[in-house]
């Protein structure tokens, strides 16, 4: 494995931060080497400095996308950390339906918009789609839009395909849900078309403005801000506050907190779960 020297660490970490917002330091040297080594070899680079030079000179941005795909974690599975999905099913959606129904004056369908930021390969947002199918048997009463976004082209392409191998569907999915909401497609399992049709996938950089996305009733932004520095975390959740409905719900990672970061939000507790709402 080609080693990265201290000067290259500074160059590469700044480049990765500039294009993705992911803040790495010298402690992540091994991570950079293990994830970028094969790309260095593929491109015939003799050093990480040469990889940087080729990425900067590549007008197609193909090398940049390749670096992002390899650096981003993309660790996910269906119903990961069950408590966020439990609070979504038993607290957030019932409350949201009650509030939106009261405002609708009998006009149907009721609009519900949900955004999963950093959706990776799609397991999180498809898990939400499964819950909605189980919770709302008469889907015609609702106009539900699910948006999944990620910085990685590779992750978005995989999520959009809705295809998962045996190992992936066995992580978090019980056999009943697997048979009910997926079908076998050669050696893979594919999400049913009715759930796939609920979801739109887009590539979005969370460091940039997303004010043109409209308002959302529920936003999942889990386990991504931990890779940002403090200023970028503050800016991210400040932008999220602007596009979350005043009575909307924000769910972040179980090890994350908005305390001292975004005063617009206050934590709410339901059973063993925490979600955030605007003050």
pLDDT of 24 higher than 90: no
Walk across the sheet containing 142-150 and list its strands: 199-203, 142-150, 110-116, 216-221, 244-252, 273-278, 265-270
Largest CA distance in the chain: 67
d(CA 125, CA 200): 10
* Confidence (pLDDT) at 6: 87
Which helix (DSSP H) or strand (DSSP E) does residue 246 occupy? strand 244-252
* % residues pLDDT > 70 (the chain): 98
pLDDT at 139: 83
Query: Looking at the whole model, is its pTM more than 0.75?
Result: yes
- pLDDT of 116 higher than 80: yes
Topology classification of domain 6-71 = Chemotaxis Receptor Methyltransferase Cher; domain 1 (1.10.155)
Instruction: Identify the band that residue 58 occupies on the pLDDT scale cut at 50, 70 and 90.
Output: very high
CB 189 within 8 A of CB 169: yes
Top-level class of domain 82-278? alpha beta
Q: pLDDT class for 189, splitting at 50, 70, 90?
A: very high
pLDDT confidence bin for 106, thresholds 50/70/90: low
How does residue 89 score in pLDDT terms, banded at 50, 70 and 90?
A: very high
Per-domain residue ranges of the chain: 6-71, 82-278
d(CA 4, CA 12): 9
Indicate if the pLDDT at residue 25 is higher than 90. no
For residue 154, give both structure tokens. Answer: 């590779």
pLDDT, residue 103, reads: 78
Give which of 39, 30, 33, 44 is closest to 66, Cα–Cα. Answer: 39
| pLDDT in the model for residue 125 | 97
Over residues 102-123, the mean pLDDT reads: 87
Mean pLDDT (the chain, rounded)? 91
What mean pLDDT comes out for the span 193-211?
A: 93
pLDDT at 35 exceeding the cut of 70: yes
| 23 pLDDT above the threshold of 90 | no
Q: Give the pLDDT confidence score for residue 178 in this predicted structure.
A: 96
Helix (H) or strand (E) holding 278, with range, is strand 273-278
At 217-244, the pLDDT tens digits run 999 999 889 889 999 999 999 999 999 9
pLDDT at 250 exceeding the cut of 80: yes
Are 140 and 109 in contact by the 8 Å Cβ rule? The answer is yes
Give the helix ranges, DSSP H, for the chain. Answer: 6-20, 29-42, 48-57, 62-71, 82-87, 93-104, 123-135, 153-161, 166-170, 175-181, 193-196, 230-243
pLDDT at position 203 is 93
């Amino acid at each position: 494995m080609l080693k990265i020297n201290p000067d290259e660490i500074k160059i590469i970490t700044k480049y990765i931060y500039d294009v993705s917002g992911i803040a790495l330091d010298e402690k992540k040297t091994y991570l950079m080497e293990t994830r970028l080594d094969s790309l260095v070899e593929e491109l015939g680079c003799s050093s990480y400095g040469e990889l940087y030079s080729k990425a900067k000179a590549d007008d197609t941005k193909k090398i940049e996308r390749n670096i992002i795909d390899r650096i981003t974690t993309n660790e996910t599975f269906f119903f990961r950390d069950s408590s966020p999905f439990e609070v979504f099913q038993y607290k957030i959606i019932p409350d949201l339906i009650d509030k939106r129904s009261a405002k609708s004056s009998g006009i149907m369908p009721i609009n519900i918009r949900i955004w999963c930021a950093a959706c990776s390969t799609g397991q999180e947002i498809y898990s939400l789609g499964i819950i909605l199918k189980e919770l709302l048997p008469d889907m015609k009463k609702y106009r539900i839009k699910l948006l999944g976004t990620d910085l990685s082209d590779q992750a978005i392409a995989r999520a959009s395909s809705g295809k998962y191998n045996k190992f992936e569907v066995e992580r978090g999915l019980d056999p009943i849900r697997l048979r009910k909401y997926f079908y076998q497609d050669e050696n893979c399992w594919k999400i049913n078309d009715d759930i796939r049709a609920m979801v739109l996938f887009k590539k979005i950089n969370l460091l940039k403005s997303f004010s043109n996305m409209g308002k959302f009733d529920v936003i999942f932004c889990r386990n991504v801000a931990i890779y940002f520095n403090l200023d970028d975390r503050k800016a991210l959740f400040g932008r999220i506050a602007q596009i979350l409905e005043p009575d909307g719900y924000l769910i972040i990672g179980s090890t994350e907190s908005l305390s001292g970061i975004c005063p617009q939000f206050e934590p709410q507790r339901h059973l063993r779960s925490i979600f955030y709402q605007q003050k």
